Amino acid sequence: MSSSLEKLVIIGSGPAGWSAATYAARAQLQPLVYEGAITEANRMAGTLPLGQLSLTSEVENYAGFPHGDLGGFLESALPQERRMVMPPHEGKGVTGPELMELMRQQAANFGTRIVTDDILKVDFSSRPFKLYPAEGGLVEAACVIVATGASANWLGLPSEERFKNRGVSACAVCDGALPRFRNRPIVVIGGGDSAVEEATYLSKFASTVHLVHRRDQLRASKIMAQRALDNPKITIHFNSGLAEVLGNDANGVTGVRLASTLDPAREETVDAAGVFLAIGHTPNTGFLDGQLDLTPKKYIVWTKHFRTATSVDGVFAAGDVADDYYRQAISAAGTGCMSALDAERWLAEHVGH
């Protein structure tokens, strides 16, 4: 088995991973980033490279990016081969995919090495730490930053599973523009910022968006919630849950059966060409196989106050994989920076660099 010894490996390629890489590269730690593999399985699980932000539309609240036409800036900042894989810039402020490409490029500009593969397994029981990529081989690392983020939850209904990819999706930005949804009614499940963002985005394509939420008020921030309430194409079904996705083999999704959360005997059927789930996220910690302390919700535990240290000395965690509270792109980038500074100090103390 081929192996190489790295000073610092960063697993994950969202705002936390790239911010950690930029800081680490500038500190001359020669970081190696495993950004994730481009596979259908990762697409379905929402774990493609560049993280959750690459699955969103316009980003209005990332500091330093006010609404404006970034066309020329993107042209000059990104190499052509990366611009070609992105949707064209619409001149309406930075989008999630654009912001992520810029972060990736910034890390690359300082010499970060990037591998487009998953780390499937780790062994943190002895040093150097061992990492096993999906493509095979072994990577050994003196220090590791885990920044694998979180991915979208599903309800787990058999009918949801049956119609995945045929009208059921957890990513409006990835799938919303498909012809099957054009000028047709669409259902979005959830009441948080993601649900409102998806409903607002889908209202550009759909004839009507039915936003279905289990309680009597939205969890989304006030500005986002008001946007949904004011949108004439969005109808909100409060105190309501998805009981079944309806459809057939020929057409995929044709509707949903909704049940009242106050009285489950009260049901309604709504015609729909698609169902988008936006019911929160689960941290991507399965590959750690219990080797770092996790919270009951499976988030990595930061073991020191205001530090990114984990239960294994020399392994640090950044971003949503360790944060079930703020979960913002900018806070993930902030903890990514912190993790690189923590790693730099740890390496100086333990490895002498």
Using CB under 6 A, list all residues that contact ligand NAP.
61, 155, 189-195, 197, 214-215, 219, 241, 278-281, 327
- Active site amino acids: 171, 174-175
CA distance 335 to 308: 7
Cβ nearer to ligand NAP, comparing 215 with 266:
215
Shortest separation between residue 46's beta carbon and ligand NAP, angstroms: 11
Cβ nearer to ligand NAP, comparing 210 with 281:
281
Cβ nearer to ligand NAP, comparing 6 with 197:
197
Residue nearest to ligand NAP (CB): 192
Q: Is 146 exposed, middle or buried (0-12, 13-18, 19+ CB in 10 A)?
A: buried
Cβ nearer to ligand NAP, comparing 272 with 279:
279
Which of 320-346 are b and which e, b meaning 16 or more Cβ less than 10 Å from the residue's Cβ? bbbbbeebbbebbbbbbbbbbbbbbeb
Structure tokens at 273: 């060409």
Of 296, 336, 288, 297, give the one whose Cα is nearest residue 316.
336
Shortest separation between residue 21's beta carbon and ligand NAP, angstroms: 22
Cβ nearer to ligand NAP, comparing 32 with 196:
196
Shortest separation between residue 199's beta carbon and ligand NAP, angstroms: 11
Shortest separation between residue 197's beta carbon and ligand NAP, angstroms: 5
- DSSP, collapsed to helix, strand or coil, labels residue 239 as coil
Shortest separation between residue 275's beta carbon and ligand NAP, angstroms: 12
CA distance 345 to 353: 9
Which of 194-226 are b and which e, b meaning 16 or more Cβ less than 10 Å from the residue's Cβ? bbbbbbbbbbebbebbbbbbbeeebbbeeebbe
CA distance 168 to 177: 13
- CA distances 199 to 74, 168, 208, Å, are 28, 14, 9
